């Protein structure tokens, strides 16, 4: 099928372009990009795209799949459909499933399921039929059963095609971390760690500060994150293996990472989308979907994270989509498991609160959601130019919709925006 998108706003972080163009797409490739395209075949499908945004497909660094083990939270299919509806053309799942993704057989099983058994789409009426499922990338576990004790067969997982290695959980045995840095170096795969000192975290559920005192919730000091990051940076400096630092959430962490990058350490870093939008004041509602790990930061943390993303100190925005069933989340705030969904919500909310307020440019946000996450994975995203693959997301920043069960692909609804009206919706993806 040949499609002509007329007068669409092209946002391309690769070419650093934010302009109106006509874009001709055919046979999975971009055929032409010009201010006006008139020479088209009679069977070309023409779409008036005034007011719409076209950018490279979004890339999620890490999210959680319920399958295998917790299919009531999320199946692999519902996760991928949710990603498509949110504008993602690549999604990477963490290995903390049940069983954990710590062996080549399970990697092969999930890859086969994605490629061979997903032609039947659920809720087909929700997303445009032209939108395909995104590419699935799988993080291989660093330790058996993601228990933080014994290393997996990293070379075998690399041969099985994992995108990189991560437990998605803190690894506090620094001797083990050091060995992992040494073993992974020749494999040429990304290595992602979540630095967090669980002894300092203790039973805390909220970032330490005035709001934690006001709301009467057990606090987590910023040092639970920063001391672990400092230790990680020392190991990277000693071994030289590139590392990705996940879930950055404090202002001091941004400073440490900026200093390490200035010193030439081979690190990248990401924060999650909710840590850019909300701070500790939001916890006043005691909505359990605001119980996150790491917790929402104080206002100064949010300001530092936003500045860090704009400056490139924080390379990417991750979604960290974490589905839980209704029953699991209907508990006291401190007792509910931490995490929230986000694949279908991140782009509309980030655009609304960061781009429309002019705190971020459209290019800055799109870079942090597409090209930069891909680079953290050792991948590339093509520019929106003729003869390049059409891996694209078409977004309507003005379309309104209500966040409710019938409008979501994900099987879970653990989000503080449930029941609210949002502005911004993905129209179509090409993958």
Contact 393, 25 (CB under 8 A): no
Which backbone phi and psi does 7 adopt, to 5 degrees? Answer: 55, 45
- Here the tokens at position 143 are 């330790």
Catalytic sites, residue numbers: 320
User: SS in 3 state form for the chain?
Assistant: CEEEEEEEEEEECCCCEEEEEEEEEECCEEEEEECCCCCCCCCCEEEECCCCEEEECEEEEEECCCCCCCCCCCCHHHHHHHHHHCCEEEEEECCCCCCCCCCHHHHHHHHHHHHHCCCCCCCCCCCCCCCCCCEEEEEECCEHHHCCCCECCHHHHHHHCCCEECCCCCCCCHHHHHHHHHHHHHHCCCEEECCCCHHHHCCCCEECCHHHHHHCCCEECCHHHHHHHHHHHHHHHHHCCCEEECCCCCHHHHHHHHHHHHCCCCEEEEEEHHHHHCCHHHHHHCCHHHCCCCCCCCHHHHHHHHHHHHHCCCCEEECCCCCCCHHHHCCCCCCCCCCCCCCCCHHHHHHHHHHCCCCCCHHHHHHHHCHHHHHHCCCCCCCCCCCCECCEEEEEEEEEEECCHHHCCCCCCCCCCCCCEEEEEEEEEEC
Length of the chain: 431
d(CA 95, CA 97): 6
């Amino acid at each position: 099928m040949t499609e002509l998108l007329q007068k669409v706003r092209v946002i391309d972080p690769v070419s650093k372009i934010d302009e109106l163009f006509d874009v001709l797409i055919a046979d999975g490739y971009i055929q032409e990009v010009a201010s006006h395209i008139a020479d088209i075949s009679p069977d070309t499908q023409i779409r008036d795209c005034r007011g719409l945004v076209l950018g490279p497909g979004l890339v999620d660094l890490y999210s959680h799949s319920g399958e295998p083990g917790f299919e009531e939270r999320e199946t692999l299919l519902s996760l991928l459909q949710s990603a498509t509806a949110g504008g993602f053309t690549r999604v990477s799942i963490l290995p903390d499933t049940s069983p954990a993704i710590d062996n080549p057989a399970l990697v092969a099983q999930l890859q086969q399921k994605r490629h061979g058994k997903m032609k039947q789409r659920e809720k087909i009426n929700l997303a445009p039929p032209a939108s395909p499922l995104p590419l699935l990338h799988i993080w291989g576990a660093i330790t058996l059963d993601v228990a933080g004790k014994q290393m997996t067969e990293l070379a075998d997982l690399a041969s099985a095609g994992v995108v990189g290695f991560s437990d998605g959980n803190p690894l506090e045995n620094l001797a083990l971390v050091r060995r992992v840095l040494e073993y992974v170096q020749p494999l040429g795969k990304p290595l992602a760690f979540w630095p967090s000192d669980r002894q300092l975290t203790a039973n805390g559920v909220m970032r330490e500060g005035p709001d934690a005192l006001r709301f009467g919730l057990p606090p987590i000091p910023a040092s639970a994150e920063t001391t672990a990051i400092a230790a990680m940076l020392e190991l990277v400096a000693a071994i030289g293996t590139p590392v990705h630092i996940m879930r950055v959430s404090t202002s001091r962490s941004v400073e440490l990472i900026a200093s390490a990058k200035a010193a030439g350490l081979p690190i990248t870093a990401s924060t999650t989308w909710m840590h850019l939008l909300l701070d500790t004041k939001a916890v006043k509602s005691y909505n359990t979907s605001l119980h996150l790990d790491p917790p929402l930061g104080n206002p100064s943390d949010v300001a530092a994270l936003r500045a860090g993303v704009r400056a490139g100190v924080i390379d990417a925005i991750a979604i960290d989509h974490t589905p839980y069933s209704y029953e699991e989340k209907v508990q006291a705030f401190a007792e509910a498991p931490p995490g929230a969904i986000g694949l279908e919500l991140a782009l509309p909310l980030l655009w609304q609160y960061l781009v429309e307020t002019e705190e971020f440019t459209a290019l800055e946000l799109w870079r942090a959601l597409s090209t930069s996450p891909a680079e953290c994975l050792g991948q590339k995203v093509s520019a929106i130019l003729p003869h390049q693959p059409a891996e694209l997301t078409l977004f309507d920043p003005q379309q309104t919709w209500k966040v409710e069960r019938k409008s979501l692909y994900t099987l879970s609804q653990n989000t503080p925006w449930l029941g609210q009206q949002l502005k911004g919706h993905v129209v179509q993806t090409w993958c």
